[in-house]
């Protein structure tokens, strides 16, 4: 074994040429072992015989791991230089070389705690809880710990049985949660089975309110819980309700529903009218099941039938004419959790109105600027296809009056704010209905004027179409179009090319034949 004096002399001789060398280069130049060079160069730096780079450099290397093949890793290293007399710091080849000082000692040279030790001691010191890897980084970042320092060291502790690591589990692998892997201490002084059980419980507690398994399995569990809950309430659960509650894409939700049906035979599916999917648990009583089916069928008739479609088409028709003939109209939009049109606006009520307790909807809201220095006027639209009565107008005015958005308290009671105008669009207004006031009897249009509500009728729009040369009525368009988008598209085509009106109507009829048949089936069943 070489004596320290000869080892140190060999290092100084290798550095005598004035060119900085790394540890590996010194091993090659002297023929000594790695350990001998490490010890000798550290002593030489402490004695002031050599200088070392202020900061380590890094290089990517490949290591042969036998059956595991070649692994890539990053190696940190310093360079060493003979110390010039009387100098504490020099610059060579763009690198800063420094004499020995405690502030330059790093974990590789000893004297301070390594990042691996910091991570392990943190997990051990907080062994009564589980921590996400990002939380550990935040706690130790003042010591220079970075995200890559945590898991690279934790995996070694996991292999030694000191740390329990938890993430999303699938059939073949484990992936991190949104905040990284969940880590907790495994007590080596306790029986292994007990220590692991306690570690799992700590992670379960940390995951309360978090996603604790793979996304699709989490969705499957949610689906089962929602179906069981509805069954206990003697109700069926629709596929659309499940999709909305899962808050994921349609394809992801569909895959989770199919998987739930496969995994849990007690979950059953029933199709109403051959088109609408509903789910229930087979624990539901037969009489309750029949009653639930009948209630859902009635709901589908009301919401998916012809009257509902025509009502929404009428809203789109009014919107199209407002947009076409109102200069500078800017429609309000609002995001909804359901597929409801974004231009339908939900208002919040401070007092119940007509059975609506906390909220009510209006069909459209838009602003119009009257001029550069004038305040904009906001128009609020309510639509009803069919015969309009006094109670419809009263209900609409009360919604505006008692809403947070459009109502205001005054000495004379609750009123509609200035600058807000109500518009009621109806297929027709009951010509026979009379409104009895204190000293007079007036018709419905006059009553609307007293309420400061403007009226729009189908005949008003038909007159505009005739002026354009379109031989069609609004009634025909709203009855033939499948949805609001088709209404807008048909009106655009007819307005641009009035001569093709008949072709547009024929195309609508051919395209929507199955829809008309389905609606007839709903009415007859």
Give the separation between CA 261 and CA 257, rounded to whole angstroms: 6
Q: Which of 3, 101, 123, 4 has its CA nearest to residue 52? A: 101
The pLDDT value given to residue 322: 92
- CA angle, 307 then 448 then 326, to 5°: 75
In words, the CATH class of domain 115-206 is mainly alpha
pLDDT for the residue numbered 70? 66
484-496 vs 306-325: helix axis angle to the nearest 10?
40
Weakly modelled stretches of the chain, pLDDT under 70: 1-5, 64-71, 105-113, 169-173, 209-214, 338, 371-372, 525
Angle at 357 between CA 353 and CA 362, to 5 degrees: 60
Q: What is the CA angle 507-513-518, rounded to 5?
A: 150
Reference 85, options 59, 50, 117; nearest CA is 50
Domain 307-519 carries which CATH code? 3.40.1350
For residue 358, how many other CB atoms are within 10 A of its CB?
11
- Nearest one of 247, 183, 197, 244 to 218, comparing CA atoms: 247
Q: What is the pLDDT of residue 289?
A: 93
**Kind plus residue range of the DSSP H or E element containing 60:** strand 57-64
Specify the DSSP element, H or E, that contains 149.
Answer: helix 147-159
DSSP state for residue 88 in the 8-state scheme: S
Classified as helix, coil or strand, 205 is helix
Q: Which of 68, 21, 73, 65 is nearest to 44 (CA)?
A: 21
Burial of 459 (0-12, 13-18, 19+ CB in 10 A): exposed
Rounded to whole angstroms, how far apart are CA atoms 162 and 186? Answer: 5
Contact 41, 27 (CB under 8 A): no
Q: Do domains 4-109 and 215-304 have the same CATH topology?
A: yes
Task: Give the count of alpha carbons within 13 A of 178, CB side only.
Answer: 5
DSSP letter string, 270-306: EEETTTEEEEEETTS-HHHHHHHHHHHHHHHHHHHSH
Return the SS3 of 245: helix
pTM score, two decimals? 0.51
Query: 348-374: per-residue pLDDT in tens?
Result: 999 998 878 889 999 999 999 876 677
Distance (Å, whole) CA 444 – CA 121: 81
Give me the residue spans of the domains in the chain: 4-109, 115-206, 215-304, 307-519
Q: Any idea which architecture 215-304 has in CATH?
A: Orthogonal Bundle (1.10)
Whole-number Cα distances in Å, 468 to 313, 326, 329, 445, 496:
21, 17, 22, 27, 9
123 with 163: CB under 8 angstroms? Answer: yes
Q: Could you tell me whether strands 174-175 and 168-169 are parallel, antiparallel, or unpaired per DSSP bridges?
A: antiparallel
Residues 279-315 as b or e (16 or more Cβ within 10 Å = b): bbbeebeeeebeebeeebeeebbeebbbeebbbbbbb
- pLDDT value at residue 2: 46
Domain over 4-109 is classified CATH 3.40.50: no
């Amino acid at each position: 074994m070489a004596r320290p004096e000869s080892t140190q002399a060999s290092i100084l001789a290798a550095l005598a040429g004035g060119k900085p060398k790394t540890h590996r280069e010194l091993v090659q130049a002297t023929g000594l072992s790695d350990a001998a060079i490490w010890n000798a160069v550290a002593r030489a730096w402490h004695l002031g015989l050599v200088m070392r780079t202020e900061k380590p450099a890094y290089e990517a290397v490949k290591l042969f791991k036998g059956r595991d093949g070649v692994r890539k890793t990053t190696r940190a290293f310093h360079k060493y230089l003979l110390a010039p007399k009387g100098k504490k710091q020099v610059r060579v080849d763009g690198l800063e070389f420094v004499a020995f000082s405690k502030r330059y000692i790093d974990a590789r040279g000893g004297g301070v705690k390594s990042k691996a030790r910091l991570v392990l001691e943190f997990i051990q010191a907080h062994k009564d809880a589980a921590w996400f890897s990002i939380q550990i980084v935040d706690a130790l970042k003042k010591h220079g710990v970075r995200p890559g320092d945590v898991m690279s060291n934790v995996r070694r502790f996991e292999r030694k049985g000191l740390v329990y690591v938890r993430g999303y589990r699938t059939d073949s692998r484990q992936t991190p949660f949104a905040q990284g892997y969940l880590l907790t201490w495994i007590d080596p002084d306790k029986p292994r089975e007990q220590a692991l059980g306690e570690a799992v419980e700590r992670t379960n507690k940390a995951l309360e309110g978090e996603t604790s398994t793979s996304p699709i399995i989490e969705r499957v569990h949610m689906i089962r819980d929602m179906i069981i809950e509805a069954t206990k309430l003697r109700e069926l659960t629709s596929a659309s309700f499940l999709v909305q509650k899962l808050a994921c894409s349609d394809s992801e939700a569909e895959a989770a529903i199919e998987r739930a049906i496969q995994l849990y035979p007690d979950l059953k599916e029933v199709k109403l009218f051959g088109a609408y999917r509903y789910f229930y648990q087979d624990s539901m009583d037969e009489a309750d099941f029949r009653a639930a089916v009948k209630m859902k069928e009635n709901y589908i008739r009301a919401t998916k039938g012809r009257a509902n479609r025509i009502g929404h088409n009428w809203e789109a028709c009014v919107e199209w004419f407002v947009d076409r003939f109102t200069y500078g109209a800017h429609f309000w939009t609002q995001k909804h959790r359901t597929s409801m049109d974004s231009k339908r606006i939900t208002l919040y009520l401070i007092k119940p109105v007509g059975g609506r307790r906390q909220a009510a909807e209006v069909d459209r809201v838009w602003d119009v600027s009257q001029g550069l220095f004038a305040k904009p006027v906001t128009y609020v639209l309510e639509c009803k296809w069919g015969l309009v009565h006094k109670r419809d107008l009263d209900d609409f005015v009360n919604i505006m009056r008692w809403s947070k958005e459009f109502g205001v308290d005054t000495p004379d009671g609750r009123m509609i704010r200035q600058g807000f105008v109500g518009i009621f669009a109806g297929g027709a207004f009951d010509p026979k209905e009379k409104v009895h006031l204190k000293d007079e009897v007036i018709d419905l249009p006059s009553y609307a004027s007293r309420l400061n509500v403007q009226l729009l009728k189908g005949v008003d729009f038909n007159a505009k179409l005739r002026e354009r040369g379109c031989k069609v009525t609004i009634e025909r368009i709203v009855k033939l179009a499948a949805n609001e988008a088709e209404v807008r598209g048909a009106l655009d085509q007819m307005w641009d090319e009035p001569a093709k009106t008949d072709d547009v109507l024929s195309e609508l009829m051919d395209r929507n034949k199955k829809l008309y048949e389905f609606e007839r089936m709903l009415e007859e069943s």
